[in-house]
Structure 1
Amino acid sequence: MSTPPNPPSNPVGPPTEPAGTPIPETPEISEAPETDSVPAPAQPLSLEKTPAAPATPAAAAPTPEAPAAAAPEPAPAPSAFAPPTPPAAAGFGGGFGAAGAPGAPGAPGNQWGGPTPGYPGAPYPGYPQAAPTSNGLAVAALITGGFGIVLGIIPFFFWAGTLIAAVGLGLGIGGVVRANKGAPNKSMAVVGIVLSVLGLFASVGGLFLTVMVVDKADNRLDRQVEEDRRASERLPGRDPSRSAAPTPVPGLTSALPFGEKFTYPNGITVSLSVPTKYEPKGAYARKQVKNAVELTVTITNNSNAPYEVGYPSPNVRDDQGMTAEMVHDGSVPQMIRGAIMPGESASGVVAFEVPQGTRSITADIRPGILGDNVKYAGPIG
């Protein structure tokens, strides 16, 4: 026999009968065929309405001899402030509850079947940015700006001051940007920028100072060379105000013939040999050299100290006064160079291209940096 969905509530106490009433025999109740009951769909509940208790199914009709069964007491009405009773939700597998019976009262339904309200979205606040506790760029800008001023004003070091001042300017700008974001030492960064700009101006001043120093050094060197030249022309043991050679002096005021020697007051002797026709040694040189004359330069050191020469070469002109061109063919020129020791001589060979038909030439030569040129003139031998 199937159990009704909601059994009737039992009476509080047994029914009272009049005294002396015979107890009738209880007739047998015929069993009703079992039928599967399908639960009705759950209705939505509200606070205003509460579903009434399901009616008790009618049992088999009593026989005339059986007294009527006592009516069950009605269920108390729910309070208006009581929470609503949740409807029976359909369980897994076609509405079966936790107990396995279809539509069983009190059986929990599928709690994950329906959608649940979500939480409203809110922007993520993120982590607060901590302000920098130091500003090293400001300190570096201050230091480099000061060094830029110091190096920029020094002659020959202005370029280093320019580079350092430019670096300091960049560091100062970076320090100001960092200070605007909360870092300290903004005033120090501004001072570094000012010092860096002053360093750039100091570098410009250092450039002008360098040019002035170089010009002054050149002028002093020129005066020293002139004084040395004048001192070399004076004879030892005589008054410096008097000239070393009387006027006129052959070789200085007039030309010497080729082959003659000229002696300077310091004991250095120079001579040019008689010019002769130059014969090129190689086939290529013979094609390039048409008419050249050859000269031998000889320098003798009659002083008491080594004499330094620096490639002494004569200047040659033809009989028309045109400057001759020196020949370079691998064999000539053979220049004198280096130091000549006291009592020794050194010779070199040079050749010059002259026009065809030239019969005489003139030349002048100076044995070193100091001293006057010695003049020679004569025919080609």
Structure 2
Amino acid sequence: MAIRAALIGCGKIGQRHLQALVHQEAIDLVATVDTNLERAEAAAVAFDALAFDQTDVMLDNVDIDAAIIATPSGLHRQLAFQVLERGKHVMVEKPLALSYQDAKAIVDFAKQQGVVAVVTQFNRMLPAIQQLFQAHQDGRLGRIVNGGVAVRWARPQSYYDEAPWRGTYAMDGGVLFNQAIHAIDVLLQLMGSVKEVFAYTATLTHQIEAEDSVSGTIRFRSGALASLAATTCVPKTNLEERLTIVGENGVVVIGPTVNQIHTWRVGNDNEQEVRQAILDLPARPSWQSHHDALKDFAEAIENGVTPRLDAATALCDIAVIEALMLSGREGRIVHMSEITGENA
């Protein structure tokens, strides 16, 4: 029997979920929710679902097993708790929340309720990233000593103006939470626990409250170092989303997009063949990553297994971003214990 689910938030990212839901059978969309009822109704049509403009009203009137939260980020904790209080499974769009404490509260409450909580940090599941993960898991890179993330994207002022929540601290969080978090997530999955960070932050070309540019350094407990650069100030079109991993025995650079391998110096592998093999894969439709995330979510619910996108695995992302933003505001090194409350 299909999992009965509700989609909460039918805006731009909600549309990606709708596209992905059409291409799978494990989840049956039975309800949609949006503060704009007409938008919820439009989203519901193809699924013969019920439409609502309030989450509590939907929960009171529709029997669901799970909910997908695709709203502005600042609403994630509140809505996740509304769903979890009813004992329902929950998928949350990235970022899980805009603070470590809120994110951990979601994870802890889901565990208490005995339900599945996942977050759409699905870049981990991309073919090029999976190949990098496998090389690391097999020990082919050796000890990782250095890394880097560069996310330089184009977001014109009109992007922020068309949705007033974008570019705010309360609902968007800035360039790290909104744009760079996927790359940061992959970096942290590979390089491990962070000890401290330092960053400069700025708002340079947009009329917004939050940062549109960040340059930072991350020191890991292993002693390894990583650099971070993120901006939405690039004119016209995206420049790059690049991940660099330097091990004692190998080097990999993913980029200039996450579906390309720029550098593959691993063992005796033929670098050009590795690059070409990724390029020769069928083109991924825009909804494919959300489809992969939904499949992971459904399998965890149906089989009682830990999902690959378990929300708990994203707590490090939120903590590190929060620390980088604090460092930028206060102009000092921030130790992770200040964010998590755990001793280094």
TM category (shorter chain) comes to under 0.3
TM-score, normalising length: structure 2: 0.20
In terms of fraction of residues, the more helix-rich structure is 2
In terms of fraction of residues, the more strand-rich structure is 2
- Per chain length, whose mean CA-contact separation is higher, i.e. which structure has more relative contact order (CA < 8 Å, sep 6+)? 2
TM-score, normalising length: structure 1: 0.18
